[in-house]
Each structure stands twice: as structure tokens, then as C-alpha cells.
Structure 1
Amino acid sequence: MDIDRRTLFVGGLSFAATLPVPAHAAMASIINPRSPNEIIDLWPNIPPGAPRTMPVETIEERSAVADRPDRIITGVARPRMYLFKPDRPNGAAVLIMPGGGYRQEAFDNSGFQIAHWLVTHGYHAFVLIYRLPGEGWADRTNAPLADAQRAMRLIRQKAGALAISPERVAAMGFSAGGHVCSDLSTRFATSSYTPVDAADSLSARPHCAAPIYPVVSMDPAIAHAGSRDKLLGPNPTKAMEVAHSSDRNVSLQCPPHFLVHAADDETVPVENTLRLSAALRAAGVKVDTHIFAEGGHGFGVSRIAGMPVAAWPELWLGWARRTGLA
């Protein structure tokens, strides 16, 4: 059956289109984009806290260029991971959380493209499609965290079969996905759902975490308003703001962090990253913080050519080696 590129899909994804080749020279090795090797459902049955009427999954293509997809997903009723396997595995894995303001997930720009870059360096890459908080889930504020915790535990459960070290599983997130990442890295031990099987006895703590141009704080003074509204809902209390501001939940048990932001980001203020960096340092957690003069928002790995932020992928690779991930 022929499927138009702007057809709406329910359940799975279409992988007919190839992904763009990043312009930056350091990304030049990504010349043969691949489809995921496996799709891993997070929950054995209906996800916890499901609404009476489940969301209807929709995928929309925003790009007008046939070989440069830029798809977004909404209506996530089937939270899952897309696994990309490297040709030469290094024994480590990265869980990737796409951004989208908690109203959608841009899984090409801040998901599959990131995975393609990582597999060229030997990492197993898992792109997480997490539940969106404004789509009727009973515990809206913790639904994305629950999916991230469950994902980390499933990766560790499957580590032996994939020849991955269960201790060497990192987290990386972008924009609102950066909030999912920092929420996971600071509240990994929070009980966000009732255990469903043996995987839930495993730790959800990442080996290390990389929130990239992340939403961090729910303080209205610096919060990304759309993400705050979707996550906390109408009329949130001050206690809710604190509970879901990652910088307010840092402890010495948090893993090492790698932070990236552009000072000219007009979507998510750089103060989000600065607050998280300061909180990590105050708690004695190792943190590498990179604030670039130019880059804007949503640059990922394919929109960095010619800008200061073009340095971040190589910086992360070196940092990952120093933390013992690779």
C-alpha cells in the first residue's frame, strides 16, 4: 500500500524516509542512516494511569524535503523504545529523550538523528517515546518520569542479551526531553509507578546524564511556559513547582552531568541550565557545563554547522570516556 508522507499513523512508525546527513564535519561519518533494529514496548499491558479514552497516536511530517524528515508524534498511547544497534559495540548504551514542549516529541531531530550519531561511536542507542502529560494520564506530572525509569530498567534487564554492561547506561535528553532526563537523573529513586515485573527491581539511576538545552525549572520566572503548563496543569501550587524543578531535587547520589545550552536560546532560557549546574556543584556532583554564545534552540547534531555549539558532540564523547561510560 502506498503511504503518503503526511499520512497519520497509529501505533508504529514508518521508516521509509532517510534522515538528513548532518552538515558538521564531525558528523560526516553518518552517511547511511539506518532504521531501528527493534521496538521495545515499556509496559506489558496498558500503561499505568490510563485515561478512559486513550490518546490516538498521530505522526506529522513537518519537513518539505523528502530525504530530510522532521516528524513529530502526539497521542502517545504506546510508550516504547526504538533500539539502534552499533556495528562495533563498545558495551555501553544511551537512553535518548526527544523534546517537544511536552505537547509533542520531535523524534527525528532529537531522537533518531542522535541515535545515528551515537551508533557510529559504538553505543547502543534507545530512543524513548514517552507519554505526554497533557493527554489524560492520571498522574500527569510523573508519567514521563515513570516511562524513563521503566526504560532504564528494561535496558538493564536486556543488557546481557545485547552485550551491554548494565552499569554503563547513560541518559540524554533535549529541551522538554532534557527535563525528562534531568528528572530521571535527580529523581531516579522516586516511586512513580507500581512495579509490574522483575525489571522493576533494577536501578533506574543513569551512569551519567546529558540534558541538552533542557527545560529544568518550573519557576515561572525562567520556565518554558508551554512545558510548565503541560506538565503541571492549570493553577499548580508552589509545592508542585518545586517538586518538578530538577535543580531543586539534586542530591549527592545524582550521577555526573554534562550540560549544554546556547546563550541566545529564545525558547528555553539559559538560566535553566545555569540553575541546574549551580545546584549540582553545590551538592558535590561532577558537572561539565558548556554555555555557547550562539546556537539558538533545537540544534541537535544536524543544525550546528558554523556555530559555536558545533563543538558539543565531540565534547560529550570525551566526557563520556572520562566518566567511564565508554
Structure 2
Amino acid sequence: MPALLDRRQLLTAVAASALLPVAALAQNSGTTPVAVAGKPGEIPEGMKLPLLPQLESFPIWPEGKVPGSAGVAAKEEWILRNPKDGDPNDTAAMHVTNPILMVQRPAKPDGSAILMIPGGSYTRVAVTRSGSSIDQTFAGSGSTVFIMTYRLPHDGWAAGPEAPLQDAQRAIRLIRHRAKEFGVDPARVGVAGFSAGGHLAGWLTESFGRETYEPVDEADKLSTKPLVTGMFFPVMTMMAPYAHETSVKNMFPKGGTDEEKRKISLEFNLPADMPPTFLAHANDDPAVAPENSLILFNALRAQKTPTELHLFEVGGHGLIENGKDLPHLALFETFAKRHGLWK
């Protein structure tokens, strides 16, 4: 059984460290290192360990049906995020071209499901291949957890900033389409997103009333509306002064107008029937200003959307104090139970 990556390791770098130098490890069969960015043929000592096999997984899009791929030259690769430590489970997906859902099955399923969306500043997708204590926590509550990778706008997809939203909409539909196979109640599907993944989770949640891609099969007849959403230290706005600039630059690599940024800033586009939304942030977050959560909470509260915000005094970007996780996941569980995700 591969060792699980703890939440402290997983979360401390999902946005703030997305642009830290890392050696890119290309993979041919998922285990053999074949290239290192910047130093061809040289593999640092910490990268000689093979990447762990990923969880059970399946593609979000049928082969050849990824929208807007004409002219995209990106080549997907998985990297070790910290080559010096050499942890084969501390990974990230770069230049995603084939988004997938990885499945963490619960020992005692209760019929609920969670679409889990990792962060990475829209630079990469900071996702562990063999599972983390976060998805294990959700699975321990009875949920079948689907961890997604998603395409990144800076790779030149025709949909531009909406490429990851297309993937998220397709992902939640696919979970519902295959609900019987996974023992899931299609009415009890929630979403949880972290950092930039929090933005994508919120964006998915507020966009259930519009289509972002042409249907490709029967799954696309299903709803994209989650039952409940959790947003943890989320990027939320693309507007100054509280925007996370790295995320903005990656969403608009050629620069974006204020109008374009407003379209993907969550506070300006909330539907009246927005699903219940939980927020957690730390007041000392050095990467994503807590105003991202405060502004969204106030907007949700003003329109009487069921919402809850936990703003911790300390916790940084990742909600960790003195090396220990804050109780944000337990608080989300209480909120989600109140709204029917867990029983």
C-alpha cells in the first residue's frame, strides 16, 4: 500500500509554490524518467524514484472529443513537485491534454460523491497520484471521491479561460452518468476545491445554468449543479486589488480586459439559486488574500444563499497551524450533512 501524502505536504504549495522552480519529469509509461526541463539527460538524485501508480482512473472526455484541441501543441507530463525530497506521491500534472477522474472508493459507501478539484494557480494541477489524506477523509465519511485533472488556459485551448470549466462540467455529468456503476446517488454529488481549484469549484457551481461545450454523448444531458460546494482558501476574484495575480496571468496569458476578468470573477455572476456554499480561509494567507472568501461570503449572504465562512486567525495557505491541520474539513462535513450530502 503506497504511503499517503498528508494534507500538510499537499496543501502548502497548491498556489503559492506553483511557480517555484521544479525539474519537469516527463513520463513515457508512467514510471520511466525520460527528460528533465533545462538539463537534458540529467536526472537529479531526488527524481530517480519512479512515480507511484495512480488511483483507478478514467478519462473525462471520449478519445478525440476534447473540445478546442486543434492547434494545441502541449504535451502532458507529471512531475515531482519537490525533487529534493523525492516523494513519489508529491506530484503535479503539467500541460494537461487528457483530463481524468481518479477514484478514491470508500470502505463503507453511503451513496454520496464528491468531485475534488486540486489547485495549482492554473499553472499546473497539484494532484497526488495515489491518494492523499484529504480524499481519504472524504472517503472515510462514506463518499466516493473523484479527483480531477483539468486543462490549463495558457496551453492555447480554443475555449481560453473556460477550458477548465468545460472539464469540470463534463466531470460532474460523468459522475452522474456512471452513478450506478460506482454506487452513487446522482442527487448527492458535492464539489470541493482548493486554492485555484476553489475558484474552479465555485465557477462550476454558479455556471450550472449555461452550457460551455457542445454535447458529445448521453452524459451531457445531465445537470452540472452540485448539491453543496466547499471552497478552501480559494482564489475567487480576478479583479484588483485582491486577485491572485499568478492565477490571473495564467487564465489570460495574453492579457485580459476588465470585462473578461469580471466574467470569471465569482462575485459578479452568482445565480439566485446558487447551491449551499462553504468557505474556509486563514487571515494570514500569504498567497491568496482572505478577502477572496470574505467578498464571496458577503455576496452569497446578501442574496440569502445558504453559506458559512470560517476565517481562521492563522493557517497560511493550506490551513495548517504548527504543523497540524485546522478543522476545516470537519466543519465542512457538518455543513454538508446539514444540506444532505452525508446522512
Shorter chain as denominator, the TM-score bin is 0.7 to 0.9
Change (3 A) 1:50 1:10: farther
Change (3 A) 1:10 1:287: farther
Change (3 A) 1:70 1:244: same
Gaps in structure 1 of 5+ consecutive residues: 19-33
Letter of the structure 1 residue corresponding to residue 286 of structure 2? E
Q: CA deviation at 1:113?
A: 3.6
Match of 1:128 in 2: 148
Match of 2:98 in 1: 78
Change (3 A) 1:280 1:13: farther
Q: CA deviation at 1:165?
A: 0.5
Q: In structure 1, the residue corresponding to 2:27 is in which secondary structure?
A: coil
- Equivalent positions of 1:262-273 (< 5 A) are 262-273=282-293
Q: CA deviation at 1:232?
A: 2.6
How many residues are treated as equivalent by the alignment? 302
Match of 1:319 in 2: 335
Match of 1:60 in 2: 79
CA contact (8 A) 2:31 2:50 kept: no
Instruction: Please identify, of 276-285 and 45-54, the stretch whose mean Cα deviation from structure 2 is larger.
Output: 45-54
- Equivalent positions of 1:53-202 (< 5 A) are 53-63=72-82, 64-66=84-86, 69-108=89-128, 112-202=132-222
Letter of the structure 1 residue corresponding to residue 75 of structure 2? V
CA distance in 2, matches of 1:6, 1:280: 40
Letter of the structure 1 residue corresponding to residue 27 of structure 2? F
Match of 1:290 in 2: 310
1:49 equivalenced with 2:63 (yes/no): no
How many percent of aligned residue pairs carry the same amino acid? Answer: 35
Q: CA deviation at 1:298?
A: 3.1
Q: CA deviation at 1:74?
A: 0.6
Change (3 A) 1:13 1:142: farther
Instruction: Please identify, of 39-48 and 171-180, the stretch whose mean Cα deviation from structure 2 is larger.
Output: 39-48
TM (norm. structure 2) is 0.82
Q: CA deviation at 1:73?
A: 1.4
Q: In structure 2, the residue corresponding to 1:59 is in which secondary structure?
A: strand
Change (3 A) 1:35 1:72: closer
Change (3 A) 1:129 1:290: same
Q: CA deviation at 1:242?
A: 1.2
CA distance in 2, matches of 1:146, 1:65: 35
Change (3 A) 1:122 1:312: same
Match of 2:57 in 1: 39
Q: CA deviation at 1:35?
A: 5.6
Q: CA deviation at 1:167?
A: 0.5
Match of 1:9 in 2: 27
Change (3 A) 1:279 1:13: farther
Of 232, 235, 252, the residue aligned with 1:212 is: 232
CA contact (8 A) 1:51 1:136 kept: no
Q: CA deviation at 1:220?
A: 2.1
Letter of the structure 2 residue corresponding to residue 74 of structure 1? M
Instruction: Please identify, of 185-194 and 140-149, the stretch whose mean Cα deviation from structure 2 is larger.
Output: 185-194
